[in-house]
Structure 1
């Protein structure tokens, strides 16, 4: 991974593409696994490193497939991935300005439509929720306590085995993989799914545990969670496997924050808060989005 993946680096990569317009005038929308820029009527996603090229290609196929299925989602503006110094760049139609924030109920309605679909005609991976743990901990380096890193590795291995042994309540199939209201955009025509890079074919419960965890860890209003359950039609907390998927996601979330710890005291403090709550076995300690 490019550890120096800054806004300036991403702009330089964007400038190497032919279809991005003026990179200097592009508006940065987000900087994470991708740098996301608004460029005129398009959105350009610049991948952090070359290893993300296959995922970028898959995300474009998912966008086209959802369009064919009539599921409201962000639409690709080009069918091929552009390559800039090895980094993937994908182009998307820019969505109109949001009319309001997305709610958990908006997300639930979209998940119902998605979860009604059979698997597409192209391959989708399993939801490798824990696959990034080693990479994120490696990026954290000496900024985090080695004992905490080893603890998360042990949790990763245990929850990976436990997840593989789960018996689902719902029929497995296509899932979003990171089903949060922040990945729903509510425009004049209603809610649409965005950030399609984690699409997979796996347990549908993956998409539901996210909101249950938001209720327990991130301060989601219980009434908003109840609206999510009503809109979807089932509460994943009734499923005996819920605690396993929750534990896997908590492990991944801790490691994800760790990668931001070098040079970022707020990230380090949040990492320590999360790991301490897991070590203490306290499922109610408040975590803060990062």
Structure 2
């Protein structure tokens, strides 16, 4: 799905107002008539869209600051799930690591919701992303990532957590926090899961190691949360699994974006060479 296709889906869903593209990743995200509209890449994401809306309602009831849904169920248009959200006020400042930690603490304190949350299978999307990449990526690179996925799947399943398992955000990064006049709120709830709380913390450790997050910013995160996941013996395993998924995720953009293809190749090369410090670029 490209931007033109996503705009056609908006029209099919009955959203005919002026649409401003805000982001294009796992979903195409538009501002339309004072709302935020997310268009999923394919019909197979309908169940995930339904769960994201349920999560938003649950967090609202639990008092956790998070984005709120404008409609309780997705629309299915031209084979794509479409969800509508209330647009947040303009940000008063960028979100920092400490803002994220301040939201993760109450989220991690919640018991299970009254509906089923899936485990956080970091590696579940690898096959789909590589399929979307098609011939744009080297078949040997795709095979390497599939083998790496399979190896890490067994290691992740055998981990012993330090923290009590339960609800997590699943993609815990400052970019998924919006700081408006009322304070920070969580956004992008589609990966909310029930699993090891360490999943949410390894994301920031990887940001420090791969994406250039300064050491003092990482320290602000661990101080605000109250624990550094790098002290846990399972950290390297979760990090390796997330790196595998992050590499495959970029591949889906390779057919239409030369920059994505270059970044994919860079990431694969670092994994093949065992270079744990090569800088990756956010995409």
Aligned to 1:12: 8
SS in structure 2 at match of 1:117: coil
- Following TM superposition, by how much is the alpha carbon of 1:260 offset from its aligned partner in structure 2, in angstroms? 1.6
Of 257, 261, 267, the match for 1:264:
257
Of 177, 183, 188, the match for 2:181:
188
TM-score, normalised to structure 1's length?
0.95
- Following TM superposition, by how much is the alpha carbon of 1:16 offset from its aligned partner in structure 2, in angstroms? 2.1
Q: Structure 2: which 5+ residue stretches go unaligned?
A: none
The two structures, once aligned, show a CA RMSD in angstroms of 1.0
Corresponding pairs, count: 283
SS in structure 2 at match of 1:185: strand
Deviates more, 1:260-269 or 1:156-165: 260-269
Counterpart CA distance in 2 for 1:285 and 1:37 is 34
Matched, 1:126 2:122: no
Per-residue CA deviations over 1:41-95 (Å, capped at 9, x if unaligned) read 2111111110111000000000000000000000011111111122111111110
Aligned to 2:98: 105
Matched, 1:38 2:31: yes
Counterpart CA distance in 2 for 1:190 and 1:112 is 15
SS in structure 2 at match of 1:91: strand
- Following TM superposition, by how much is the alpha carbon of 1:279 offset from its aligned partner in structure 2, in angstroms? 1.3
Residues 217 and 203 of structure 1: CA distance in aligned 2, closer, same or farther (over 3 Å): same
- Following TM superposition, by how much is the alpha carbon of 1:161 offset from its aligned partner in structure 2, in angstroms? 0.3
Q: Structure 1: which 5+ residue stretches go unaligned?
A: none
Counterpart CA distance in 2 for 1:230 and 1:119 is 26
Aligned to 2:67: 74
- Following TM superposition, by how much is the alpha carbon of 1:149 offset from its aligned partner in structure 2, in angstroms? 1.2
TM-score, normalised to structure 2's length?
0.98
Counterpart CA distance in 2 for 1:46 and 1:133 is 20
Counterpart CA distance in 2 for 1:9 and 1:58 is 24
Deviates more, 1:145-154 or 1:89-98: 145-154
Matched, 1:253 2:246: yes
Aligned to 2:163: 170
Counterpart CA distance in 1 for 2:262 and 2:100 is 30
Deviates more, 1:33-42 or 1:65-74: 33-42
SS in structure 2 at match of 1:43: strand
- Following TM superposition, by how much is the alpha carbon of 1:265 offset from its aligned partner in structure 2, in angstroms? 2.1
Deviates more, 1:85-94 or 1:160-169: 85-94
Deviates more, 1:82-91 or 1:137-146: 137-146
Deviates more, 1:274-283 or 1:200-209: 274-283
SS in structure 1 at match of 2:22: strand
Deviates more, 1:100-109 or 1:258-267: 258-267
Counterpart CA distance in 2 for 1:57 and 1:206 is 22
SS in structure 2 at match of 1:287: coil
